[in-house]
Amino acid sequence: MRRLVVALVASLVWAGAAQAQGPRVEPPSAGLPPSVPAESTTPDLIVDLSRARVSITSAFQGESILMFGMFDPPGEVVVVVVGPEARETVLRKQRFLGLWLNTGRQSFDDVPAYYAIAASQPLQRLLARGAGGEILSLEDRMSTVKPVGSRAAAELASFRGGLVEVKRREGLYPAAIGQVTVQAGRLFRVDLPFPSRLPEGVYEVKAYLLREGKIVAAVSRPLPVGKVGFSAQLAGWASHDGALYGLGAIVMALFAGWLGGAIMRRL
């Protein structure tokens, strides 16, 4: 009995000492993978698109896609849409003896098929505050395209200006900066317009979060653009069976001419 009492008193003393020292903290498990964060982190920028792709049909007249998301304030949002890069050739025409003749040409590599920018604040103000880096205005982006061959700097600038002018007439290089609308201080949305003469390929839609003129987060979303339906079949036929496509076009043209002549004779 005396031994039982002594053991009970010792256990009570040990429990009291443990309570005085505070709760015991277990060390982290040594088997935890290093890729698992110790604390949960909230991303600074979350974005999504209202549509996963742009489908070009025979009746395609352009389309507008909504980009929306959420960010951790404070900050400003800039969205850049870039089309697939390819080689483009610019022709220079001059009037000679009453005729317009091609008097020069210049090719450029890495030319984006489409380029548009939207921002929650004036872009020049954001760039002036030191954003720089990845976010480029259209003028800065065009200065990075690579000319094929060698020309004087003044001539290259003239051809670059002509390339931008052609793209703007086609609606592929919007001159105006789009408006990113911020709601409740952390939600944003922007309508991204795409013209009817949209080239096929995989476009990149990239959103940037800026704080004090510095990029703190960036999220990119691919946007496939391609033909579907009959227009896709026709394009595939022209690409893979060019001879048959040309023959079919000639037959259809002859039939349309014969049909038009027959109708006019009856009238």
What is the reported pLDDT for 127? 73
How many CB atoms are closer than 10 A to CB 146? 10
pLDDT of residue 24: 46
Instruction: Please answer whether residues 206 and 217 qualify as being in contact, where contact means their C-beta atoms are separated by less than 8 angstroms.
Output: no
Q: How far apart are CA 92 and CA 242, in angstroms?
A: 30
Q: Among 166, 217, 175, which residue's Cα sits nearest to residue 193?
A: 175
Select from 211, 200, 208 the least CA-distant residue to 236: 200
Domains of the chain: which residue ranges? 47-241
Token output for 149: 């061959």
pLDDT at 236: 57
What is the distance between the alpha carbons of residues 69 and 170, in angstroms, rounded to a whole number? Answer: 30
Residue 20, pLDDT score: 44
Query: Given strand 99-112, what is the order of strands in its sheet?
Result: 85-96, 99-112, 146-147
Per-residue pLDDT tens over the stretch 18-64: 444 444 444 444 454 544 444 445 568 999 999 999 999 888 999 99
Q: Which parts of the chain register pLDDT below 50?
A: 1-30, 32, 34-40
Phi, psi angles (nearest 5°) of residue 134 = -70, -30
Tokens 């309508």 correspond to 191
Average pLDDT value over all residues in the chain: 80
* pLDDT tens figures, 106-120: 999 999 999 999 999
